[in-house]
Amino acid sequence: MLNRRHFLATATLAGLSAPAILRAEAGFFRDFPFSLGVAAGDPASDGFVIWTRLAPDPMAPHGGMPLVNIPVEWEVSPDSGFREIVAKGTELARPELGHSVHVEVAGLLPARPYYYRFTAGGERSLRGRARTLPVVGAEVDALKFGVCGCQHYESGFYGAYRHLAREDLAFVYHYGDFIYEYQQDYLFPDGLPVRPVRKYALRGLQDLGDFRTAYTQTLLDIDMQAARSVHAFVSSFDDHEIRNDWVSVYDDWKLDLDGNDPDAPPPEVFMLRKQAAMQAWYEHMPVRKALLPRGGMINAHRELRYGNLVSMQVLDTRQYRDNQPCGDGFKPACPEVYSKDAQVLGKAQEDWLAKNLGKGGATWNAIAQQVTMMALDRRRREDEPKKILNLDSWPGYEAPRERILSRFAGLKNCVVLTGDEHQNFCGDLVLKDKVVGAEFVGTSISSGGDGSDLRKGTDVFLKLNPELKFANDQRGYVVCDVNREAWQTHFMVVDKVTTPTNTLSKRATGVVENGVAGIRMA
Ligand SMILES: [Fe+2]
């Protein structure tokens, strides 16, 4: 909330001519304006994005902010005490973008940590930390980074994020499902109803204000803030930022064959919701200004190169994808699965990927994306007659899946990082009986609740899928520990998410040796 008398006095001085810019002097904000914390993202060798959002009354409309531009000062230092300031400036927090601030800091030195902070109205934000990347192509021996996502607020607390914050990482890739678009009255962890551990404020999300509320509530979580304040995030979105299993094709939304939402809107109305959702995502993510939505679309695929060790292609598997075949869901394949025209990435993104993969000669060719690429048989009972596919993942689109695997076959050291499943697993990517790469699927921060070591039927699942090396149904995150000899992926799990704090352990490690396609468990 603002101090109204001070606001009016300052507003009068500023004249309130359009566009109004207030000088937010000391005492301007009645409450702490940096309530949603700070974040950094999209690191490069000379800088990164730093983010914050002014919200003195975070759950109120517009975060309790007046609808005027407010200047926010920022500074970057190599030391945690900010004795030396190496970059600083002022960025306008605009009401059109929820008073979010995205600063693309440049001119920094490569491969080292920096600290940053914001000031407005005499109030100072939490101190953030982020690392710059090594120079592209530079000789680099090691990289350690995190992978996480799927953080259904009602299913569990974010204790995993506090553990993630304590890891020594170069950056974190977030595969999406930062928010979920629905509220649940009950969860059924073992078939019996339990209450969600905490509730989303809104029953559903329709307009920009609703989506802002969901991000605001999520970011008020202090474990979430802890992780975002110490690691630069490379952020993606998946489906629940908008609606379960959405893809680019709107014509079929009226039919809603998957049956998840009988009230699904007609396509032209859904487009409006998507536009609001994309704007709110941008406003709350530490991403570059190139990702500002245009016409409701975000240009989210991008490349991250870590010296000469890793090149990582960050993909968008939602915005350009054809409708799920065979009516979506977990089902046996129908002929649509083999359609030659099917698209997952869309032609432009697929061409971009083809051009980038292997370019620059990094030791490891990584792909960071949302949905599983292994064509796994999802049966968990032996009496089910036919192979079952997850039609919302790559095996629902066999032609583009084979194109990408054929590309892997001509390269060395291809590693795919995936989310979406709310379980840990890893295995070999196989094309015509040849192992061409490795896939590590990370679990969820909270979605799915506490879970257990093995989901029911895991023995059948593993038996039916010889390429699968490991499966586990606990919550947590993944740490990739990469050097010239090997890529190690550690599956870090927590014992519970239904309690605010929990215990972390390393459940398993999958290893890919340099020059050997496929995974072995350490
Ligand atoms: Fe999810």
Place of tokens 């309130």: 16
d(CA 464, ligand 1 centre) in Å: 24
Distance CA(144)–CA(111), nearest Å, equals 13
Distance CA(253)–CA(264), nearest Å, equals 6
For every residue of 129-178, which 3-state class applies, written as one string? Answer: EEECCCCCCCCCCEEEEEEECCCCCCCCCCHHHHHHHHCCCCCEEECCCC
d(CA 444, ligand 1 centre) in Å: 7
d(CA 11, ligand 1 centre) in Å: 44
d(CA 13, ligand 1 centre) in Å: 49
User: Where do the domains of the chain lie?
Assistant: 4-129, 142-194+300-521
- 8 A C-beta contact, residue 450 and residue 496: yes
d(CA 76, ligand 1 centre) in Å: 34
pLDDT at 189: 82
Distance CA(375)–CA(253), nearest Å, equals 26
**Cα four-point dihedral sign 268, 269, 274, 280:** positive
* Global confidence as pTM: 0.94
Full pLDDT tens readout for the chain, 522 residues: 444 444 433 443 444 445 566 677 888 898 999 999 999 999 999 999 999 999 999 999 999 999 999 999 999 999 999 999 999 999 999 999 999 999 999 999 999 999 999 999 999 999 999 999 999 999 999 999 999 999 999 999 999 999 999 999 999 999 999 999 999 999 888 889 999 999 999 999 999 999 999 999 999 999 999 999 999 999 999 999 998 888 886 544 444 444 556 667 777 888 899 999 999 999 999 999 999 999 899 999 999 999 999 999 999 999 999 999 998 999 999 999 999 999 999 999 999 999 999 998 999 999 999 999 999 999 998 888 999 999 999 999 999 999 999 999 999 999 999 999 999 999 999 999 999 999 999 999 999 999 999 999 999 999 999 999 999 999 999 999 999 999 999 999 999 999 999 999 999 999 999 999 999 999
Q: What is the DSSP letter of 34?
A: T
d(CA 473, ligand 1 centre) in Å: 13
Rg of the chain taking only CA atoms, in angstroms: 23
Third-level CATH fold of 4-129: Immunoglobulin-like (2.60.40)
d(CA 259, ligand 1 centre) in Å: 18
pLDDT at 200: 97
Third-level CATH fold of 142-194+300-521: Purple Acid Phosphatase; chain A, domain 2 (3.60.21)
Amino acid of residue 133: L
Name the residue among 140, 187, 193 with its Cα closest to residue 306: 140
d(CA 446, ligand 1 centre) in Å: 9
Task: Identify the helix (H) or strand (E) that includes residue 274.
Answer: helix 267-284
d(CA 420, ligand 1 centre) in Å: 5
pLDDT at 261: 62
Q: Which residues pair with 456 in a beta bridge?
A: none
pLDDT at 4: 42
d(CA 178, ligand 1 centre) in Å: 8
Contacts of 224 (CB under 8 A, 6+ apart): 37, 151, 158, 161, 218
d(CA 348, ligand 1 centre) in Å: 26
d(CA 1, ligand 1 centre) in Å: 34
Place of tokens 């979010």: 100
Q: Is-cis flag, bond preceding 19, omega within 30?
A: yes
Assigned token pair, 328 = 């979506």
d(CA 236, ligand 1 centre) in Å: 12
Q: Is 345 helix (H, G, I), strand (E, B) or coil?
A: coil
Name the residue among 518, 498, 361, 339 with its Cα closest to residue 430: 518
- Give one DSSP letter per residue of 214-268, joined into a string: HHHHHHT-HHHHHHHHHSEEEE---STTTSTT--S--TTTTT-TT-S-TTPPPHH
pLDDT at 24: 75
d(CA 149, ligand 1 centre) in Å: 7
Contacts of 439 (CB under 8 A, 6+ apart): 372, 373, 374, 415, 416, 417, 418, 426, 427, 428, 429
Distance CA(123)–CA(35), nearest Å, equals 11
pLDDT at 471: 97
d(CA 177, ligand 1 centre) in Å: 5
